[in-house]
Each structure stands twice: as structure tokens, then as C-alpha cells.
Amino acid sequence: MKFRVIPVTAFQQNCTLCWCEETMQAAVIDPGGDVAKIEAAIKEEGLQLEKILLTHAHIDHAGGTAEIKALHQVPIEGPHKGDLYWIEGLAKQSAMFGFPKVGDFMPDRWLEDGDVVTVGKQTFQVLHCPGHTPGHVVFFDKSAGMAQVGDVIFQGSIGRTDFPGGNHQQLIDSIRKKLFALGDEVEFIPGHGPASTLGHEKRTNPFVSDHRG
Ligand SMILES: [Zn+2]
Ligand SMILES: [Zn+2]
């Protein structure tokens, strides 16, 4: 798959457009807002939107979902159903963070660990990685060696766990047992900030590295 990062919202969330180069069918991952910007990128790349994928249901990741669904009539896949309460609370989240009013939506498909998601002729493996939110999932494109990790891990940091439903130990376990098992060379695009590799984080990330204290 090919990937193009589109930072959206006041939180500079890394919405990612990914597509199969053979069919030019695309998925938009975490359309948190700034839908006009996302739409412009879809047009510019000459893509046909096939689906919306969500890593988790925080407002900066999911706020533009209903609007994009209405424009393209495409299914929403993800997150895991553990995030249902975040989806039901989106209106409250948008008021709290000063986001524009968001439309209601419900995923067409809840994802489970081990599920496969297609984009054109390409596939993502789904990893359920709770901790930041209970229903957080990661999308892993094995053939590209690329993972879309949302707010699980960042370059040099990890996701917050102080929101309702957050769990620090669960997050550490998700990173060390599931993500790090994908391989050191795997590159990832996090929900915020620059890309990195799992190997780099394994060596240097103070929250989860092998070499801490
Ligand atoms: Zn989040
Ligand atoms: Zn975020």
C-alpha cells in the first residue's frame, strides 16, 4: 500500500490516506476533522474511497467520520467494540475540546484481534492493542512493513492512560507483547508527531525500551 499523512484538527492528528496502487482504491484512517483537506488529498491522488478505518474513537481521530461516510457512502471498519462508549460520547467530546459539532455514526464492522481488513487488493492485519482506550486497534500492512498505531506509541513516548477506561499496564503489554513482536524493522505512523520504527522505540523509548533502569 501507499501512504499519505494528512495532519488534521487543532491536535495535528495524523489522518492517513492509504491505497492499493493496482486498483487505486483507498481507505482513510482516523479522519478526525478538516474533511475538506482530506477530500482534496483523495482527489489529488486520483483515488476511489472504499472505506473508513478507525484506530480508536477519540474526537481527534473520529470526528470527521460521519461527514466522510455521508459524502462517499462507504463502510466504517473499527475500532474494537470496547470503544463503543467513546463513540456514544463523541458529541460530549467535541463540546469539551471545542471541536465543530460531529455527526453520529456506528461502525459497520467492529474489529477483533487477528481480523483482516482489505484495501483494494492489499490487506491490513488487525491487532487489538488496549490501554489508551479499551477498543484501540492497530492496522499492520505486512508487505509494506508499515503499522498505523494511533495513540498506542509515539516516537519517544506512549499514549495517555488517564482517560476513563485507560490502563497503563495494558498499554505497556500491548506495545511489548504485540507491537514489538512485529519486528524491529517495521515502520509506524503514530496518531501524532513523526514516524519511527519499532526497533528504534525498543532501543530508545524510555517507557517501553529493553534498556530502561
Ligand atoms: Zn486518543
Ligand atoms: Zn490522538
Nearest CA-CA partner of 69 in 87, 81, 86: 87
pLDDT for the residue 212? 53
| Domain total of the chain | 1
Cα–Cα distance for residue pair 141/149, rounded to 1 Å: 11
Q: How many other CB atoms sit within 10 Å of the CB of residue 22?
A: 9
Do 101 and 86 meet the contact criterion of CB atoms below 8 Å apart? no
Burial of 123 (0-12, 13-18, 19+ CB in 10 A): middle
Query: Does 211 reside within a domain?
Result: no
Query: Does 116 reside within a domain?
Result: yes
Cα–Cα distance for residue pair 211/189, rounded to 1 Å: 23
Query: Does 43 reside within a domain?
Result: yes
Give pLDDT tens digits for 135-147: 999 999 999 999 9
126 Cα: distance to centroid of ligand 1 (angstroms): 17
- List the CATH number of the domain containing 22: 3.60.15.10
Report if pTM > 0.95: yes
Ligand 2 (ion): residues with CB under 5 Å are 60, 151, 191
pLDDT for the residue 211? 62
150 Cα: distance to centroid of ligand 2 (angstroms): 7
46 Cα: distance to centroid of ligand 1 (angstroms): 30
8 Cα: distance to centroid of ligand 2 (angstroms): 10
Query: Does 159 reside within a domain?
Result: yes
145 Cα: distance to centroid of ligand 1 (angstroms): 23
Range of the structural domain that residue 102 is part of:
2-204
Give pLDDT tens digits for 17-51: 999 999 999 999 999 999 999 999 999 999 999 99
Query: Does 209 reside within a domain?
Result: no
Q: How many other CB atoms sit within 10 Å of the CB of residue 93?
A: 18
Ligand nearest 14 Cα, by number? 2
Query: Does 19 reside within a domain?
Result: yes
199 Cα: distance to centroid of ligand 2 (angstroms): 22
Give pLDDT tens digits for 67-109: 999 999 999 999 999 999 999 999 999 998 888 888 899 999 9
Query: Does 100 reside within a domain?
Result: yes
Query: Does 212 reside within a domain?
Result: no
132 Cα: distance to centroid of ligand 1 (angstroms): 7
